[in-house]
């Protein structure tokens, strides 16, 4: 017997919820389904109603939640903010229920839960492909592909994949990541599946922490490198940060004709930082190659904990 969805629709249980219904996160029910009917995940994927990558307006608003699989659980000063899975799922379900949100980027464990909850119907689903460069590890820049493979994304009927490409000219691990990223681009292109490449020029501090260089020159260089990965760029998108000086973005984005989305990142616990992030995105969204936003922690864990308001504000920028 096929297992059904593990949650119903309820109101008013998510952070900042304003009464809009979304799937209820019932952890015992999820565990029962995973224990007794693991095939329900594939069945939910097979019957999931799909949609085009881009809606009629040609814009894309994606909520990202692939951070935990890299051991990156912190938001601002809260080191384990993303550690509670039920809380994270509630926030994701609420975000996905808001008008104008097109879909989600996550790893298999989170997407499997969302499939069982029925939260991915008519949504863009992006699988996160390389999560092996664990935050803080000595091998962080040898970012192995430990998440979704191209064949998994195709088999599950998902809509796209995403890979992270951090390049440190002083770290040989970056070369291994660069090569495996190119092969992932090839595998996705062979299946005519979009792949979003998130490139950075990175360096280690004297304490050994990996830092991303958001200067105009570094972001431009990372875009140029990412655009040339693989044997075809036909299905490659870029996922890029806004530079330290947002006024540089027009020149930076002129480095490639590939379609791009802006990434969000952790803006910290200050409402002022959140507002500043909105303003940075607002200007860059007018550039000709920029098609939308992929934002995670700053929308799922805003300073005032009002997820609905944060998501709605980001959608409004589009």
Query: Which pair of structure tokens corresponds to residue 160?
Result: 């796209």
Q: pLDDT class for 268, splitting at 50, 70, 90?
A: low
CA pair distance 43, 157, nearest whole angstrom: 11
How far is C-alpha 52 from the geometric centre of its chain's CA atoms? 18
CA pair distance 82, 298, nearest whole angstrom: 12
Provide, rounded to the nearest whole percent, the portion of the chain with pLDDT above 70: 91
pLDDT of residue 275: 83
The mean pLDDT value for 203-230 works out to 97
Q: Are strands 22-23 and 9-10 parallel, antiparallel or unpaired?
A: antiparallel
Is residue 275 within 8 A of residue 309, CB to CB? The reply is: no
With a cut of 80, say whether residue 178 has pLDDT above it. Answer: yes
Q: What is the pLDDT of residues 19-72, one digit of tens each?
A: 444 557 999 999 999 999 999 999 999 999 999 999 888 999 999 999 999 999
Backbone φ, ψ for residue 134 (5° rounding): -60, 140
Domain residue ranges in the chain = 18-317
Provide, rounded to the nearest whole percent, the portion of the chain with pLDDT above 90: 85
Query: Which pair of structure tokens corresponds to residue 136?
Result: 């803080």
Residue given tokens 């998902």 in the structure block: 158
pLDDT of residue 9: 40
CA pair distance 129, 144, nearest whole angstrom: 9
Cβ atoms within 10 A of the Cβ of 30, count?
19
pLDDT of residue 274: 79
pLDDT of residue 22: 58
Topology of domain 18-317, CATH:
TIM Barrel (3.20.20)
Q: What is the pLDDT of residues 99-108, one digit of tens each?
A: 999 999 999 9
The mean pLDDT value for 97-120 works out to 97
With a cut of 50, say whether residue 14 has pLDDT above it. Answer: no
The mean pLDDT value for 176-182 works out to 97
pLDDT of residue 269: 59
With a cut of 70, say whether residue 115 has pLDDT above it. Answer: yes
Q: pLDDT class for 6, splitting at 50, 70, 90?
A: low
Q: What is the pLDDT of residues 142-172, one digit of tens each?
A: 999 999 999 999 999 999 999 999 999 999 9
The mean pLDDT value for 283-311 works out to 94
- Mean of all residue pLDDT scores within the chain: 91
With a cut of 80, say whether residue 15 has pLDDT above it. Answer: no
pLDDT of residue 2: 39
The mean pLDDT value for 203-232 works out to 97
pLDDT of residue 10: 38
What's the start-to-end Cα distance of the chain, in Å?
44
pLDDT of residue 24: 73
The mean pLDDT value for 255-262 works out to 98
With a cut of 60, say whether residue 11 has pLDDT above it. Answer: no
With a cut of 70, say whether residue 244 has pLDDT above it. Answer: yes
């Amino acid at each position: 017997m096929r297992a059904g969805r593990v949650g119903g629709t309820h109101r008013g249980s998510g952070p900042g919820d304003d009464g809009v219904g979304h799937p209820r996160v019932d952890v015992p029910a999820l565990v029962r389904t995973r224990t007794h009917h693991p095939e329900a995940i594939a069945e939910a994927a097979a019957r999931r109603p799909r949609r085009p990558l881009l809606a009629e307006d040609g814009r894309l608003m994606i909520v990202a939640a692939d951070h935990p699989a890299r051991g990156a659980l912190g938001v601002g000063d809260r080191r384990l903010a993303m550690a509670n899975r039920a809380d994270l799922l509630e926030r994701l379900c609420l975000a996905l229920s808001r008008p104008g949100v097109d879909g989600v980027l996550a790893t298999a464990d989170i997407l499997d839960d969302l499939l069982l909850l029925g939260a991915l119907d008519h949504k863009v689903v992006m699988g996160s492909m390389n999560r092996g460069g664990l935050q803080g590890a000595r091998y962080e820049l040898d970012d192995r592909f430990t998440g979704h493979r191209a064949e998994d994304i195709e088999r599950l009927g998902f809509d796209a994949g995403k890979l992270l490409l951090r390049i440190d000219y002083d770290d040989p691990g970056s070369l291994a990541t660069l090569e495996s990223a190119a092969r992932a681009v090839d595998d996705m292109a062979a299946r005519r599946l979009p792949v979003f490449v998130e490139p950075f020029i990175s360096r280690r501090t004297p304490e050994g922490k990996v830092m991303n260089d958001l200067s105009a020159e570094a972001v431009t260089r990372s875009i140029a490198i990412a655009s040339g990965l693989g044997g075809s760029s036909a299905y490659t998108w870029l996922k890029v940060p806004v530079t330290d000086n947002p006024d540089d973005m027009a020149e930076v984005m002129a480095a490639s004709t590939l379609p791009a989305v802006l990434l969000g990142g952790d803006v910290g616990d200050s409402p002022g930082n959140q507002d500043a992030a909105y303003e940075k995105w607002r200007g860059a969204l007018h550039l000709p190659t920029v098609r939308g936003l992929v934002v995670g922690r700053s929308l799922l864990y805003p300073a005032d904990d009002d997820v609905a308001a944060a998501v709605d504000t980001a959608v409004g920028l589009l």
